[in-house]
Amino acid sequence: MTQENLKTRLEKQKDVMALRKTMNDAIQQLSDSKETLELLGKQWPKTSADSLKKQAKALTDSLTTMRELFLNKEDVQGIFRSNDNVSSKIGAPSRYLYSAYYGVGETHEILMREAQKSLDAALKRLNGFYSKTWKSFENEVKALQVSPFKEWEEIK
């Protein structure tokens, strides 16, 4: 392998890592949102808890579905692989890059385009979810003006 091939391989790997970073940012946002829902569930007043719990459950399900656009399903027994998620699509050009002895070829470029296309489609769905569904729920919760402080009584 020539020095030029190694340099090209490194540059292409940086491109793959950029896709992976964007994917990881999306996954982190989903995890943070799930934690927010769990925290809110502990703070809601009793009067509106039923309605909000139903919405939170639906949102939690949506967050799980969104996560599965990027990663394999959780809690699956045995060996489970899926080629339908973003992580698999991003992993393909990376694996190919290190298996091709003579450097980067057209196959790598095709796999990168497929990975980018997959990531873009998942991000479009994710951003649509956050701009509409999540924003609506966020506004509804903000309108409740829930305080994180519990009522306290004087201890005698």
What average pLDDT does this structure show over 71-97? Answer: 80
The model carries a pTM of 0.82
At residue 76, the pLDDT reads: 63
The residue among 123, 128, 115 whose CA lies nearest residue 84 is: 115
The whole-angstrom separation of Cα 150 and Cα 38 is 17
At residue 59, the 3 state secondary structure works out as helix
Burial of 156 (0-12, 13-18, 19+ CB in 10 A): exposed
The whole-angstrom separation of Cα 67 and Cα 45 is 29
What average pLDDT does this structure show over 10-28? Answer: 94
The whole-angstrom separation of Cα 32 and Cα 143 is 21
- Mean pLDDT taken over the chain: 85
Of 59-68, 70-79, 142-151, least confident by mean pLDDT is: 142-151
Res 21 pLDDT > 60: yes
The whole-angstrom separation of Cα 113 and Cα 104 is 14
Amino acid at 98: Y
Extract long-range pairs of 33-40: CB within 8 Å, 24+ residues apart.
Answer: 33/59, 33/63, 33/134, 34/60, 34/63, 37/63, 40/141, 40/146
The residue among 58, 51, 63 whose CA lies nearest residue 27 is: 63
DSSP state letter for 81: -
Of 41-45, 74-78, 142-146, least confident by mean pLDDT is: 74-78
Mind listing the pLDDT tens digit for each residue in 95-113?
A: 888 776 666 788 889 999 9
Tokens of 128: 């649509």
* Top-confidence range, 35-49, 60-74, 115-129: 115-129
Say which residue, 80 or 108, is predicted with more confidence.
108
Res 46 pLDDT > 80: no
Res 47 pLDDT > 60: no
At residue 43, the pLDDT reads: 72
At residue 146, the pLDDT reads: 64
